[in-house]
Structure 1
């Protein structure tokens, strides 16, 4: 499991001082980027031939359980649940202290963009694939 933290900024809240739901998707992305950096990767990687490998989202969802407020420090727990041939699926949980605030998932596809060409999904290159380790499924 990879863990990141985020302190809620004033501009992320609504008139009641509660974090607007859309920010949880940004927090997922923040944690995903930090996770990739921890592996020596990036969400956008230029290859020697000038093409760029990236990870666009193909699905994202989030279920909310409790509000987060201005100045809260949120712990974002990200787990790689599935490594497919061309995709990664993450489970994400958000906590303030021991209180779970929300849980979600994020699925990204490995894609390449060559100069002047459209975005194309590709199998995860071996030099990148070996860096990812799936979390074992929890038993009931």
Structure 2
């Protein structure tokens, strides 16, 4: 059984169009912000600096979002993040957006674990065991 990470964010005026409706592009930003909060809840970061100065990070491979109802300036949106799949090198995350009992949108993002060394091209790597363990622990919390 998977566990869902939840976060709340208020729609800001600058995120809306002239009708006061959230511009679709902001949902991708909301997904990324929720992802960052999820990593922080695991005592991690999206950019993990290594002792040798290199970095482990998560570039996006794909992102999509479908919309069911508009969100408006001032709305409080609950973003529910669920790990859909942990691959050997990739992570697929689902995002559900709610305003009270109204489903606003559903998104999905796939990222790949990569190693970045200054002056070299990025390289996809297997998700390190310590990261896999933190994700696994978050999906099966102890009671």
Q: Which of residues 111, 114, 119 is equivalent to 2:114?
A: 111
More helix by share: 2
When the two structures are superposed, what TM-score results if normalisation uses the length of structure 1? 0.94
- The structural deviation recorded for 1:115 is 1.6
When the two structures are superposed, what TM-score results if normalisation uses the length of structure 2? 0.92
- The structural deviation recorded for 1:63 is 0.4
**Residue of structure 1 equivalent to 2:25:** 22
Preserved CA contact (<8 Å) 1:93 1:104: yes
**Residue of structure 1 equivalent to 2:53:** 50
3-state SS of 1:53 partner: strand
CA distance in 2 between partners of 1:25 and 1:95 (Å): 15
3-state SS of 2:93 partner: strand
Q: Does 1:64 align with 2:67?
A: yes
Preserved CA contact (<8 Å) 1:81 1:135: no
**Cα deviations by residue, 1:89-117 (Å, 9 ceiling, x for unpaired):** 01110000011000010111000101211
CA distance in 2 between partners of 1:5 and 1:24 (Å): 13
**Cα deviations by residue, 1:55-90 (Å, 9 ceiling, x for unpaired):** 011010000000000000000000001000101101
Aligned pairs, number: 136
RMSD (Å), alpha carbons: 1.3
Question: 4+ residue stretches of structure 1 with deviation over 4 A?
Answer: none
Runs of at least 5 residues in structure 2 that lack an aligned partner in the other structure: none
- The structural deviation recorded for 1:135 is 5.6
**Residue of structure 1 equivalent to 2:84:** 81
